[in-house]
Copies of this chain bind each other. A is one copy, B any other.
Amino acid sequence: MDTKQRILDEALTLFSEKGYANVFVGDIAERVGIKAPSLYKHYKSKRAIFDAIIEEMNRRFEEQAKAMNINGSNAAADAKVYENMSEEHLLGLGRQFFLYFLHDDYNKRFRKMLTIEQFHDKELADLYTKLYVDDPLSYQGMLLGMVAQAGLLKTDNVEIMTLHFYAPIYYLLTICDRDPSREEQALKTLDEHIRQFNRLYGRTK
């Protein structure tokens, strides 16, 4: 990987562990294997590194969103996929979502960084809300909506049902971010949550 990219990568790691203000330009440089002044050949300032991370993140997420829409925009067709969905499928859905967010390295670090920096300015707060609140909710709302369409879930309020599906996932995610040693237990809880969710909302009693 070229140096410019490595700088972003190491900076993100450090920012996610200690927060922007507690990371020194020298720390980043050291990790990359160069001296602090050399960083300035690639970025104008420490702030510029942070901004570049945010930019790249936006790029990645847009990309990802686009990819999702390709499979997600045609609800009528996709609903068929869910026509014979079982509890196992639902479990898979939740687990996949959870593990992706939890273990995908870029996601994990970025989420932690945003958690730390979210109160610095409104833009970051909005980004956090978009990435970890609104987008997952609307995406999963769409999926669960289709499953309900297919007659496998019963509710008169998809939004609240989706909240009931996602809030515990979010909650467990924040626990694991803070303390990875809880992952195993969180995964068990996740399974129980989804099974119970299915019992509560599933049509096939």
Contacts and interface: CB of A to CB of B under 8 A. Distances in A.
Contact of A193 (B125, B126, B163, B179): B163
A167 interface: yes
Interface in A114-149: 115-116, 118-120, 125-126, 128-129, 133
Interface stretch (A40-48, A59-67, A168-176): A168-176
Contact of A118 (B128, B168, B178): B178
B19 A116 contact: yes
Q: Which of A19, A166, A171 has the most CB of B within 10 A?
A: A171
A118 B19 CA distance: 10
Given A133-B175, A178-B125, A19 B119 contact: yes
Nearest to A166: B171
A51 interface: no
A4 interface: no
Interface in A173-205: 175, 178-179, 189, 192-193, 196, 200-201
A193 to B, nearest CB: 6
A184 B91 CA distance: 33
